Each structure stands twice: as C-alpha cells, then as structure tokens.
Chain A
Amino acid sequence: MSVLSLDRVSCRFYDGRRAVAALDDVSLAVRAGELVALMGPSGSGKSTLVHAAAGLVRPASGSVCLLGTAAPPGRAATRWWADRRRAQIGFVHQRLNLVPGLSARDNVALPLELDGWTTPDARRAAADALTRSGAQDLADLHGSHLSIGQQQRVAVARAIVGGRPLVLADEPTAALDTAAAEEIVELLANLAHEGQAVVLVTHDGRLASWADRVVLLRDGRIVDEVGAGLATVAADDPGVATPDRQLS
C-alpha cells in the first residue's frame, strides 16, 4: 500500500485576476521503503506538491490519500490534516520554522509531545534524531543561536523524530556544504530503506541520485520519471506531457 498517493491533483493560485496552475493533474504514489526525489526548475510545482501532500495546500481538484485514507472534503479537512501532520508526517520546511525560544532538543521533541508522548520518551527520541542528523552537539542551544546550516540539521531531526511513516523534505540541504548535504540525504535514503516513505525536493542531480525514483516536474506537470525497475515514460503516453510540448 502506498503511504502517500495523489490522484489527479490540481492546485491553482491567483495571480491578480488570473488563476495559475501550480499543479496540473498530477498523480503520484510513494510506497513505504521508498525515497522519491522531485526535481524541476523554480516554479515547476515541486514545493506545491509536498505542501499538498501535507495538507498545507488544498487541491482544487483531485484527491490526496495517506495510508489508504483520503482527506475528507470541506471543513473537516482542517482537523484531519492537523492530526495527520502530528502523527504521520515529518516535514522539513524550506524556511525551517524552528521555535526560536526553545532548545534544539525541545524543538525536535515538540511534535511528539503534541502527539501525546511523555516528555522523557519524546526527549529520548529527540536525542536519537539529533544524533542521526549530526546535530547531537546542538541539543541544548536555542533555535535563535543556531547558524542556518545548524538549523537545517535540527529541522531534519524534527522531521525524522519518532519514525512517522511519511517524511517530506523541501530542499532540506540548501544551506549545507556539499559533504554535509550528502550526509543528510544519505540519512533520508537510510530512513527509506528502514521502511519510511520519503519525498525529497531538490535542484541537485547529485542529491536526487540517492532516490529510488526521480520525478521531474515542469509547469506543474510530471514530465518524466527516472528509476530502477520502472518503465521509462513513453513519449506517446497520453497521461504525460511530452517534452516537445514544453518548448512551444
């Protein structure tokens, strides 16, 4: 079963008077044990896709399912998504969003405590996640005292803490040097091989190469997919925009 599945999802933003399609009829399934990388130029819909996968952007049409359950329509969705984000989804935001007044350890423990874990259990899991993301020495520092690169490691720890089934990482290594970025994405690949489902947004082919599948987006559509054991996208597949449509 897929941990995450998007079925014909379209998302629109309003740019003054006209609607701009940020995602246009996108279908994607991510299984447990799989790392999927999303690549594409700025504005191609990568971030919108992971935001839709976390219920932070609601599709204009199509549906998003987590662990086989579809997000409910209408106002019920708000509560449903909040519960999912707490219990089932770890998210590394581009803007990191650490709580400045809390220590790195408390930042990482926070989602688990909100989910009802006892403080000692949450802190133990936080220490473990900080170690895995290479941030064990930062545990006692406050968010406001961390460099951007350090915040990035802590944000990764917060996303992976507690082993939630889906980890969504929106350019989680943008502030890190080459070797540190490799280390973080290797960690994401290891999490996937331990059974989590991981989606990584990146501009770097080098980092995307850790993924089992690389999905290429252009103008809100999936235009190609590269991955082991999967048939490459046929140019005449009616469900997929062919490259020649992109240059018109």
Chain B
Amino acid sequence: MAVREGLLVLLGEGPRHGYDLRNEFEARTGALWRLNSGQVYTTLERLERDGLAESSPDGDDASGRRRNYRLTAAGAEELRRWLGAHARDGELPRDDLVMKILLAASGDPRLAGEVISAHRHQLLERLQEVRREQRRVAGGMAARLVADVQIVRLEADLRWLDLCEQRLRDANRGGTDRPGRRES
C-alpha cells in the first residue's frame, strides 16, 4: 500500500482539503504512518494528473489558495479494485527470526534450544510491552487495532517457536520424526 491508496480511501468518503487528508490518514492508521504535507500534495497532483481525482478552489477560503479534492468516477473504480485486490503479504517469510532459527536448528541441538528459548523470552517481553502500551493509551479504535495486529503476529511467531522446539525434541529423541525417513 502507498499514500496514494490511502488518499483514495479517504476521498472515497467525500471531498476534502489536503490538510484534512493528512490528519485523517494519520488518525485512521493509528499514527503507524506519518505523512508530511509535501507527500500529500505531490500525491494529490499525481491523482489529478491520472484522472483519479479532481479539485476546485474552496469557496469559503478568502485567500483562494485552498483547494477541495474529490474522487472522479475512474478514481472510485480504482479504489474498489485496490480494496479487493490480493494483499501482497503472505509470501514466504524470510525475516531475521526465521533465518536465525533455521540456521540454528540444523546445527547443534543444544545451541538450537538456547536460541529458541532466548527468542521466546524476547517475544513474550515484547508482547507484554505492546499490551501495556495498549492499556496505557486506551486510545481510539485505530490504536487498539494496531496493538491487536502486533499482538497476534507476535503470538504467531511464538507458536512457530513452540513447533520448532517440539519437532527438534522429537527428532533428537529417537529420530522417528526425521523427515528423511518418510522418503525411504
């Protein structure tokens, strides 16, 4: 996702000024993504150039410089397409944690166990931090949802560590679960 799509969503709800767009974008994403006004205006210019948005001077603004932006029919169509399009996450994870565990798991089992325990400890600490922050701010819906997504993703990593540990234990206990056996 880019700023462009974020602005399409907001304009899809009705006409807005650039300044409103920036504030609303930050509020709705739980301040996960902070914008500067340059980014907002550059993106709005591109949307106009591509025929996805149009603007007119704001009649209430004495200076005549403030503009009101709204979506065109092509913009509304692009918005619908983007919202329904496949999210680009979910590819094979190759993050730091995964690589560390994969590399450790294929070596000395004692070291692998220590690495898993250390990461489990860190993930639980991080989970507690996010939870404390969620309780402390008790803010709006966006802040709650941002904390929730962090919590469930950390939990997913924890579950994966539990699985890694169990599989390594089984494999070291007698070798019956070694993947190679099934192929013979």
Contact = CB atoms under 8 A, between A and B. Distances in A.
A211 B124 CA distance: 10
A248 interface: yes
Contacts of A227: 128
A98 B127 CA distance: 33
Contact of A206 (B112, B116, B121, B155): B155
A99 to B, nearest CB: 35
B151 interface: yes
A243 B166 contact: no
Contact of B162 (A41, A214, A235, A247): A41
B130 A209 contact: yes
A205 B123 CA distance: 9
Given A206-B151, A228-B128, A243 B123 contact: no
B114 A205 contact: no
A68 B159 CA distance: 37
A204 interface: yes
A5 to B, nearest CB: 23
Interface residues of A, number: 23
A226 interface: yes
A208 B113 CA distance: 22
A214 B168 CA distance: 24
B67 interface: no
Given A205-B158, A226-B125, A248-B110, A210 B117 contact: no
Given A205-B154, A206-B152, A247-B169, A226 B117 contact: no
Interface string B155-171: 10011001000101100
B168 A247 contact: yes
A214 B112 contact: no
Contacts of B158: 205
Contact of A243 (B117, B125, B159): B117
Interface string B100-115: 0000000001111110
A232 B131 CA distance: 19
A184 interface: no
Majority secondary structure of chain B interface residues (helix, strand, loop or mixed): helix
Contact of B155 (A205, A210, A232): A205
A209 B151 contact: yes
A224 B127 contact: no
Contacts of B176: none
Q: Which interface residue of B132, B158, B166, B168 has the most chain A CB atoms within 10 A?
A: B158
A8 B83 CA distance: 57
Choose among A211, A232, A246 the residue with the greatest number of B CB atoms under 10 Å from its CB: A246
Nearest to B161: A205
B68 interface: no
Interface of A: 41, 204-206, 208-211, 214, 216, 223-224, 226-228, 232, 235, 242-244, 246-248
Interface of B: 109-114, 116-118, 120-121, 123-125, 127-128, 130-132, 151-152, 154-155, 158-159, 162, 166, 168-169, 172
Q: Can you list the 7 inter-chain pairs with the closest CB atoms, starting with the nearest?
A: A243-B117, A247-B113, A209-B127, A205-B158, A209-B131, A226-B124, A206-B155
Given A206-B154, A227-B128, 18 more contacts: A204-B155, A205-B124, A206-B152, A208-B124, A208-B127, A209-B128, A209-B131, A210-B131, A226-B124, A226-B128, A235-B114, A243-B114, A243-B116, A243-B117, A246-B169, A247-B110, A247-B172, A248-B110
